[in-house]
Chain A
Amino acid sequence: MSFNKFMLFFIELIVIIIGIFTIFKIVKDLEVAIGLFSLSFGVLAIIWTFMAVNSLSKGSSLRTYAISFLFCLIAILLFSIWNLFIKLFQWEKSLVYPSYFFITISYIIFVFTAYKMHKLGKEFGFEAQALGIKKILRKKKKP
């Protein structure tokens, strides 16, 4: 690792530590602080996935998978935000139900994304051909 890369990593680490420290210092409630802390990771994950979707070729299998994954992240983030609001504003009864909706939707999209992943594995896997090549090479090696 070069000196510049190390310094960059060091600065990033300090910024993250300061961020975490600030959250826990300002927010006295541990549950809310942890909620905000996890939300920041969720937002970062969405930003990175969004950037990936933008740079992948239109219509490609990988982009379709990235889009599905993006929806999963959004649904999970909505669930976390709603849960945070429940805690912050002391919501009760009917206002709690949307959180169940968000988590159910998240799992449904996760299943869809996992299926996409399964299809991607099938489409881009070359095990059968590799086995064929292995057999041919082994045959040729034999005297």
Chain B
Amino acid sequence: MRFIDEYRDAALARTLVKRINRHSTRPVRLMEFCGGHTVTIMKHGIRQLLPETVEMLSGPGCPVCVTANGDLDKAIALAEQPGVIVTSFGDMLRVPGSRSSLQKARAGGADVRVVYSTLDALEIARDNRAKKVVFIGVGFETTAPTIAASVLKADEEGVANYCVLSLHKLCPPVIKALLDSGEVKLNGLVCPGHVSSVIGSRPWEFAAHDYGIACVVAGFEPLDVLQSVDMLVGQLERGEPTVEIAYSRGVSREGNTTAQKMMARVFEPCPASWRGMGSVPGSGLRFREEYGKYDAERVFDIDPGPTLEHKGCICGDVLRGVKTPLDCKLFRVTCTPEHPVGPCMVSSEGSCASYYHYESA
């Protein structure tokens, strides 16, 4: 597989590991923001290969995991309305909300369908004109432009029965909030590669300039992650935090301006509620007035019921990097992939799911 296999070369990986071990003298704490990076690190046992001076923390970069219970309850409430087809990415289905989940709603008779793409959701809308089709819009800046594109397509074609529940989140504001909270002292950030393909590397510059955090935009193969750790260690050893792009084959400083414009045409930033962090200013996306008729929150009167949090679930702490899954009393005991209590165990990019599946030996 081109652009994948080359970046999994074991011999080159060993070289990078040797280099990191040789260069690293001072203890540093790095956060890999993105759930995808956590998966790569756990799957290939990268933590084991790094020197003791390098500590890796997992961050809140899993859009499913950071969706607040109250928002998930909205999606479930929509599913339970008559004449509604809810379409969603697969990961959302098993996440427990306050009382139920999309999967449980489906078992109870709701029409909930897993789709791989908004293109599929639009198809379902075209084929079911008598019903309202809602797409649960969960994702970061990687996904938001595709949702925007689907809204524009619906508008162009007159698919009036299609709408989106916008639960999209933006990454740079939450990084700022994490750094502002001072809860976790970070030295470096492994920046999300595919989010950055869209937004560019520029939005990370504030972290280096204003907070002295070393930043490297990383791809998702083992060599990509190792290269990024090597570059971060290099910046920190030299005491010169800046933003570098390791994932140069997919990321530029400016990003994909077409995608950015499309996102901005349909959506505008707003405050959003992140699991474990409460409301973070400017970190969410809401529909602009002009496309309001595709906003599920305007189309429907949604009553999600009271929001309840699960006792003992520390997903919020795990997402902020304050605790690891191993610190959670429920991990592997009552919270397992088969019977998840919190979203970090359900999502394919959740920290707890990664720690569970790829336990180091």
A binds B: no
Q: Residues of B at under 8 Å CB distance from A?
A: none
